[in-house]
Structure 1
Amino acid sequence: METLAPSVLLVLFGVALMAGAVDAVAGGGGLLTLPALLLAGVPPVNALATNKLQSSFGTFTSAFSMYRKGMTEGAPLVAPFCFALAGSAVGTAVVQFVDTSALTVVVPVVLAGIALYFIFMPKQGDGDRVPRMGAGPYRSVVVPVIGFYDGAFGPGTGSFFTAAGVSLRGLRVVPATAQARMWNFATNVASLVVFAIGGKMLWLVGAVMAVGQVVGAYLGAAAVSRGGARLVRPVVVVVCLAMLVQYLWRQGWLGW
């Protein structure tokens, strides 16, 4: 396709900056960046690929910032990272050959469930609790399954990782959010590699948006370290509900 005008690139930079901040806090930055790419006239497949390119920089920045601030609380990171990477790579490959129509039902239900979880059980993420699932099954089953989902589809992956850490591993909201950024970076990188091999990237567009993502992710990570659960919980709820509305609208289920 033709190179986008400088004014359009500037707008995409601004959108990526906002998305990086949102992603660092609650996940769901793709709610902003993917529609922006499509509205800019980028073909769908190229938009998906370029979105993974720019979002990889954002998730890396927020993950690294949170790690340096000790927000992961020394949790083992390598094994879950590898499982997330593998799950996303498989999902990205499989989605090219299978019918994913079942996700049109699963996705809105899960998004609504996460929002309700954080609305009606606000105190559960404020202190460590007894885990409902052991570390082994969590990292070898739950993490790659969410990774597979991100590779195959994507919306809400960061929120899914955060909710899983809180509900299944008994983590407080902030460590769960920090770890979610790690796993989300892994899933983005895996999809990025698969899309790059297929030659679908718009490198200039992705590079411009990546700069915005880095700035936004740094600001978002700093906000999480200061605001803690009081900031993360409401943003998770708002982002999930916004993604739910957008998803239902795109599927034509709202009748607007």
Structure 2
Amino acid sequence: MEVTLDLVAIFFFVALLAGFIDAIGGGGGLIILPALLLAGLSPAQALATNKFQAIFGKISSVGYFAKQGFLDISSLKVPLLFSFLSAGFGAFLVQRIPSSILGQFLPFMILAAMVYILLSPRLADFDTQSRISMGVYSFTFGALISFYDGFFGPASGSFFVISFVALLGFSTAKAVAHAKLLLLVTNLAAVLMFMTGGEILWTLGGAMAAGQWIGAKYGSKLVHHKGSKVVKPALIAVCSIMLGKLVYANLF
């Protein structure tokens, strides 16, 4: 397809909005992917270009949270490795088998996440007691969510945040910070796989990357200063939209 200057400008602002929302509670892909498909990209081009531009939003968020002291990257070597390998494997498989297979289970996963958010008192602005170790998390829930992100993707950031809070006892801001770091790694692994197929639209992706960077920076600042006051409603909104979209698709 032809990438015009008007299209580049439009998607810069679309990515800016998506980056801001994604930095708060995840779900930026729910804005980007439909917009790319409406613009005429093939599903493979839309997925690949989305993963590429999303990397820059994650870099922006991770840089901000690292400066604020929310990340101890040296302690995350094991989860980062498992996340990279799992996401790469997911991106490898999605190019060979229908993603609808995983999509059949997704509504139940999202509904369970929504119930947890609504009923659990653990989504707070301070650390609580962890239920499993970081090592166990790395090759269980961390690996599964990373595989899902590489294979399918929507709401994976929300799943990371919820699992960090529920299982590792992280505060809201700390959970978002660590989610962005792991998502940076999973997106990178997926992009490396998609590059082999030549599906990324580099000019459009570059403009979107700039928008993502700016939006994620200000979204991260909001999470830092407001914590669960903005993250919890954002998570509920993302899960509700995703669940509604899946139910509508299955019915109609």
TM over 0.5: yes
3-state secondary structure, aligned to 1:125: coil
| Equivalent position of 1:82 in the other structure | 81
Distance in structure 1 (CA, Å) of the matches to 2:74 and 2:127: 13
Relative distance call for 1:211 and 1:46 in structure 2 (3 A) is same
1:1-256 to 2 correspondences below 5 Å: 1=1, 3-72=2-71, 76-249=75-248, 251-253=249-251, 255=252
One-letter amino acid of the structure 2 residue matched with residue 77 of structure 1: L
One-letter amino acid of the structure 1 residue matched with residue 9 of structure 2: L
3-state secondary structure, aligned to 1:77: helix
Decide whether the 8 Å contact of 1:73 with 1:175 is kept in 2. Answer: no
One-letter amino acid of the structure 1 residue matched with residue 172 of structure 2: V
Q: How well do the aligned residues superpose, as a CA RMSD in angstroms? A: 1.6
One-letter amino acid of the structure 2 residue matched with residue 238 of structure 1: A
Distance in structure 2 (CA, Å) of the matches to 1:128 and 1:8: 44
- Give 1:123 deviation, angstroms: 4.4
Decide whether the 8 Å contact of 1:23 with 1:59 is kept in 2. Answer: no
Distance in structure 2 (CA, Å) of the matches to 1:4 and 1:188: 23
- Give 1:9 deviation, angstroms: 1.8
Residues 164-217 of structure 1 deviation map (CA, whole Å, 9 limit, x = unaligned): 101111212111111000001111000011111211110001001001000000
Over 4 Å off, 4+ runs: none
Distance in structure 2 (CA, Å) of the matches to 1:108 and 1:160: 13
Distance in structure 2 (CA, Å) of the matches to 1:79 and 1:223: 29
Uncovered stretches (5+) of structure 2, i.e. residues with no partner? none
Residues 125-174 of structure 1 deviation map (CA, whole Å, 9 limit, x = unaligned): 34433222222110122212111111110001110110110111121211
- Give 1:63 deviation, angstroms: 1.4
3-state secondary structure, aligned to 2:128: coil
Bigger shift: residues 210-219 or 171-180: 171-180
Relative distance call for 1:75 and 1:225 in structure 2 (3 A) is farther
Task: Give aligned pairs, total.
Answer: 252
Residues 71-91 of structure 1 deviation map (CA, whole Å, 9 limit, x = unaligned): 236772222122111110011
Bigger shift: residues 76-85 or 147-156: 76-85
Decide whether the 8 Å contact of 1:66 with 1:72 is kept in 2. Answer: yes
Bigger shift: residues 155-164 or 126-135: 126-135
- Give 1:94 deviation, angstroms: 1.5
Report the identity percentage.
Answer: 37
